[in-house]
Amino acid sequence: MDGLRVLLQIRVRPGMQDEFERLWQAHASYVNGVPGNRGQSLLRHADQSNEYVVLTDWTDEATFRAFERSERQQEYLKRLWPMREGGSMALLTTRYELPSGLVHTQP
């Protein structure tokens, strides 16, 4: 498999979850239209309502890095910073992927 997955972990200040989700959703329509973006998901921890994971798929790292430096992304980050308490980012490459419904059995 080729491509790049970006895993962002974001912890927002307690009580700012709704504001963060609205900001993310508003920006998501832009991100989905960026060439090289293959899709994204916003996930929230089941037991920590102010901790999120954003998983974004890109064609390659150069495309992602160009997006990161874009003026629109920088504006989004400026709006996000006051809501954040912490977070991290990891760049991942897919090694194997199982289609949904596929069950592996051992002989």
Taking the domains of the chain in order of start, what are their residue ranges? 4-92
- Please give the pLDDT value at position 107: 64
Q: What are phi and psi of 88, to 5 degrees?
A: -155, 165
Which pLDDT belongs to residue 21? 97
Single pTM value for the model = 0.84
pLDDT of residue 100: 78
CA 9 to chain centre: 8
Rounded Cα gap, residues 63 and 91, in angstroms: 13
State residue 102's pLDDT score: 65
Residues 46 and 43: their CA atoms lie apart, in Å, by: 9
| The pLDDT value given to residue 1 | 52
Looking at residue 94, what is its pLDDT?
83
Dump pLDDT digits (tens) for 71-96. 999 999 999 999 999 999 999 988 88
C-alpha 9/C-alpha 103 separation (Å) is: 29
Place of tokens 């890109």: 58
**Is CATH 3.30.750.200 what the domain over 4-92 is classified as, yes or no?**
no
- Asked whether the beta carbons of 83 and 71 are under 8 A apart, the reply is no
pLDDT at position 50 is: 94
> Low-confidence residues of the chain, pLDDT below 50?
none
Any idea how long the chain is? 107
Q: In what order do the strands lie in the sheet with 4-12?
A: 37-44, 51-58, 4-12, 84-92
